[in-house]
Structure 1
Amino acid sequence: MLELQGLTKTFGGQTAVHNETFSVAPGTIMGLIGQNGAGKTTTFRMILNFLHPDNGAVLWNGRPMAVQDRAFIGYLPEERGLYPKMRVADQIVFFAQLHGLSRAEALARLDKWMDRFQVKGKKTDKVKDLSKGNQQKIQLIATLIHMPKLLILDEPFSGLDPVNAGLLEDGIRLLKDNGSAIIFSSHDMSNVEEVSDHLVMLRNGEMVLNGKVGEIRQQFGRTKVYLEQPPLSDQELQDFPGVEKVVHQGTRYTLTLSDPTVGHALFEAATAKGYLPEFSQQPPTLDEIFKLKAGASA
């Protein structure tokens, strides 16, 4: 288990992270979110012992991270780094050996990972001859091939199209099922909501959200209503007591309520006037919560 206990880090007079405390258990995925400069990358660097906290501790299975043999960690930095003139196989073997795998073990696993991520290219290709997307897949394979017990991913979905993002999600879940503790950052709230068991949000270095994704959403109440082809007119929806905002796209409407209890009256009023193909009352999306907690500047 990864544990962060009261981490604080300052640079000059600027506090990057303050009193950060959370844990990531084996077989779970934690999403770390926050606007640019919130402290996410600083957190990762303290976990990896690249930076030393001013206060607090980072523990792995109850022991300080600084005294661990870190071969069990997989880390994908936001600033990707491959050797462009090396062949794919040599690149993967190099990183795998740094984490304790033999050349034979690395090569035996490489074919499966290239197939899993649908890499367009051969093991004998130089990295520079692959497309940007396939280079990113090779970087991911280098991070995952030794099946790390602790996996840290800094913006792993950046630049990936939906198909390849889905392949990465499958790879992350494979490690989760294998018992890895996983922590990743992302600006794409749909990825965070889809993949994460647990969520921490930082704002200016302070933790402002910490909990299971579903429980965090429920804290904000079911103030969103999604309608399709409502028998009420646009004006009736806008004038309905307790409806604060109406967004209309095609046949679909998204309503923001001042109070979740308004939903019952709205449903009765709509169905009394005719057939309603869809009525769904939900808490705010994670993207909406992020904007609310991060502030307008985000």
Structure 2
Amino acid sequence: MTDLVISGLKKKFGTLQALDDMSFTVHGGEIFGFVGSNGAGKSTTMRIALGVLSADEGEVTLGGKPLDLAARRRVGYMPEERGLYPKMKVGEQLIYLARLHGLSQEEAKDAMERWTDRLGIAARRDDDVQKLSLGNQQRVQLAAALVHDPEVLILDEPFSGLDPVAVNVMSSVLVERAKAGVPVVFSSHQLDLVERLCDRVGIVRNGQMIAEGTIDELRSTPRTLIDVTVADDSTGSWALPLKSHPSVEIEGQEGFTTRVSIPTGDASARSAVVDAAARTGNLTQFRDHHRSLAELFQNVVVTEDPAESDDAKEAAK
């Protein structure tokens, strides 16, 4: 399988350091989620990979070879700002774009028909792009990225503006492409989708990759969160004795559930929490709390720079 490797990218716009040693790998056959606050460097990285921008330092390789102009013909790219000709018909435009990637007229027509069928826009082939809804324009944009059967997919905010049905269609297409061995990387602020679809995730801040791995790897932290529910105790009074415990921290209360944290793997601290809750005789739930990607993202970004907390909260929505 072919790997897409981003290695040591640096890019400066005036005094702004947009990318600062940006590095990560997207393996063939996996979906990689690229997340970060607005202005973190996601789109700049993708544009450098496509050759739209040049890097000050670093390189992009595909299958161990530089991603030069010839290799970029094998890339499927979906920009955040739609890059379609608004007054050109959908079918004609997709055939034209496929021809630019080297397909014959017959191959291009077959590919156009296949992907417009697959994405649910076959009835729109003779419509001008500008007459389509934003969601259908997004489907055409994805078809444009796929029509030449690319060896790698780079998608910038592909789910923006889509209804739930279109989200499911696009999700299934990305999964299919990955299963076919294609490295797929996409950026998104819809972290629930990233968590559901991606094999690995990279969290970006100030032009650097600050956390990377599977969701389980990103969840692997020095402390474990536990949700403890005690019936008839909405104040968490059962946990008051734990405040003197050297390893247990009380994180918060919601309804009858108290969230505590303990050092990961600390069996004695876990037993202390169980014992304290069980003494009430009304313990109804005791389970580890698995952080969502939205929580992980906000924790990483805010911990690194509290001034960016508003951007982090926006991206976590």
1:121 partner SS: helix
Matched, 1:244 2:251: yes
Matched, 1:297 2:304: no
Q: Which residue of structure 2 aligns with residue 273 of structure 1?
A: 281
2:60 partner SS: strand
Q: Deviations over 1:162-185 (max 9, x none)?
A: 332121110101110111111111
Question: Compared with structure 1, are the counterparts of its residues 221 and 176 closer, same or farther at alpha carbon in structure 2 (3 Å cutoff)?
Answer: farther
Matched, 1:231 2:238: no
Q: CA RMSD in A?
A: 2.6
- Distance in structure 1 (CA, Å) of the matches to 2:66 and 2:14: 26
Q: Which residue of structure 1 aligns with residue 141 of structure 2?
A: 139
Question: Compared with structure 1, are the counterparts of its residues 26 and 273 closer, same or farther at alpha carbon in structure 2 (3 Å cutoff)?
Answer: same
- Distance in structure 1 (CA, Å) of the matches to 2:102 and 2:271: 59
Question: Compared with structure 1, are the counterparts of its residues 84 and 203 closer, same or farther at alpha carbon in structure 2 (3 Å cutoff)?
Answer: same
Gaps of 5+ in 1: none
Q: Which residue of structure 1 aligns with residue 117 of structure 2?
A: 115
1:100 partner SS: coil
Q: Deviations over 1:215-241 (max 9, x none)?
A: 1112364315386xx524211268453
Tell me the CA shift for residue 157 of structure 1.
Answer: 1.1
Matched, 1:66 2:68: yes
2:189 partner SS: coil
1:85 partner SS: coil
- Is contact 2:223–2:261 with CA below 8 Å preserved after alignment? no
- Distance in structure 2 (CA, Å) of the matches to 1:150 and 1:87: 26
Q: Which residue of structure 1 aligns with residue 152 of structure 2?
A: 150
Tell me the CA shift for residue 67 of structure 1.
Answer: 5.3
Q: How many residues align?
A: 292
- Is contact 2:201–2:214 with CA below 8 Å preserved after alignment? yes
- Is contact 2:224–2:262 with CA below 8 Å preserved after alignment? no
Tell me the CA shift for residue 256 of structure 1.
Answer: 5.2
State the identity as a percent: 36
- Distance in structure 1 (CA, Å) of the matches to 2:279 and 2:110: 61
- Distance in structure 1 (CA, Å) of the matches to 2:26 and 2:138: 26
2:297 maps to amino acid: F
Q: Which residue of structure 1 aligns with residue 126 of structure 2?
A: 124
2:80 partner SS: coil
- Is contact 1:220–1:284 with CA below 8 Å preserved after alignment? no
- Distance in structure 2 (CA, Å) of the matches to 1:238 and 1:128: 62
